[in-house]
Amino acid sequence: MTVMAWTQRGVGRYEPCDRPALEAFQRDNFGADSIQLSEDHFRWLFEEPPERDPEGMQLWVCKRNGGIVGQQAGIPFALKTGDHIRRASWAIDLMVAPEWRLRGVGPGLSETHAAASEATVSLSMTDAAYKSYKRAGWLDLGNVPTFLRVLDPPRCLRVSPYDGGLARIVARLGQPAMATASLGYYAAARAAGGRLTEVDHFDRRADELWAAASPQHTCIARRDWAFLNWRFDSIPTAQRHRRFLVTKRDTLMAYIVLRVDRWRGESVGVVCDYLARPGWLMPAFALMVEQARRERMAALLCRTLNHHAARPLSMMGFLCLKNGLRQPTRMMARVAADRQELAPLLGDPRNWFVTTADSDMGFKELGE
């Protein structure tokens, strides 16, 4: 028996009869109030994603001595790499009972999960998972940066995660100067014909936007209407998301999904997802910044990996926090053994488009 075969003993896909044992495991290891124990969230996450795994829901458990001692979940998605669509999966919720750690359970679960797709990607993993993936040969893509746009410098001084250091730099310009810059970019966006409209749900124009916007991104999870409808309109917490469309006449040029969180007593806008046609990223964010400023938010945050976004966001006054607000958002990828030709492509962070809507990064709010 090989080492990997030995570690994968007892590992199998979740079956409905496993639910009582799984709930007990999750209650002990994630906490009684964890999102993993929500019936609605479980059904939405594992039974309703648009890119369902034909082999079954992407949830694996490891059983030893008659009980569940570990789990690994995945979110299947369609990964566009160049002109091709690949079967891929976000690796989430790897958890092993403390008494079973360092005994092969974790590697066995993650290897079983990785074998189910052409590519497996993990975002915002724990230190323990990062070390385990590193040992297993996953590609390390570094960190997903957070872009911070200060809207109200005095209020940001009070909530800055860096003892006000970054906010003070912006505060030297003064709130009037920040507002003037914001209005300038807003006026340019309006002059280009851009209009920002808040809607209750996404419509089929999202498919046209995806077709027009996706070619500029080498590696990106498919963001068509089916995905947006599942990720934001059908999720149990759909009411927390605000959907903004940027249109020029009747054409959808971009969308931005916003969530307003309370962070240390202040309202902070969190850009959960966005997509723009070529040349429309800056106008879309200019319209969003002005909307957030008018609603008196203290700041606007956007956690994203996008080679095309860094310069435009910087020009609009966004500060790039490479290590995030509180801790780095690491990103790693694993390529299937028979798809190793994809490794150079997927291993280069400059090729990727990632937002908080990917994986499970957007499930928690700033205060959690």
Q: Are 23 and 30 in contact (CB under 8 A)?
A: no
pLDDT reported for residue 172? 56
- Domain pair 3-144+329-363 / 146-321, same fold: yes
Mean pLDDT, the chain, rounded, equals 90
pLDDT reported for residue 323? 82
Distance CA 296, CA 290 (A): 10
CA torsion, ordered 148, 153, 155, 158, to nearest 10 deg: 80
Class of domain 146-321: alpha beta
DSSP string, 198-260: EESS--THHHHHHHHHGGG-SEEE--SHHHHIIIIISSTTGGG-EEEEEEETTEEEEEEEEEE
| Highest-scoring range by mean pLDDT, 3-17, 98-112, 142-156 | 98-112
Task: Note the pLDDT tens digit of each residue in 59-86.
Answer: 999 999 889 999 999 999 999 999 999 9
Q: Between residues 168 and 214, which one has the greater pLDDT?
A: 214
Backbone phi, psi, residue 252, to 5°: -80, 115
**Domain residue ranges in the chain:** 3-144+329-363, 146-321
Which is the CATH superfamily of the domain at 3-144+329-363?
A: Gcn5-related N-acetyltransferase (GNAT) (3.40.630.30)
pLDDT reported for residue 180? 60
Q: Between residues 302 and 130, which one has the greater pLDDT?
A: 302
CA 365 distance to own-chain centroid? 12
Backbone phi, psi, residue 307, to 5°: -55, -30
Query: Shortest CA distance to 116 belongs to which of 8, 259, 26, 214?
Result: 8
Q: What average pLDDT does range 316-345 have in this prediction?
A: 90
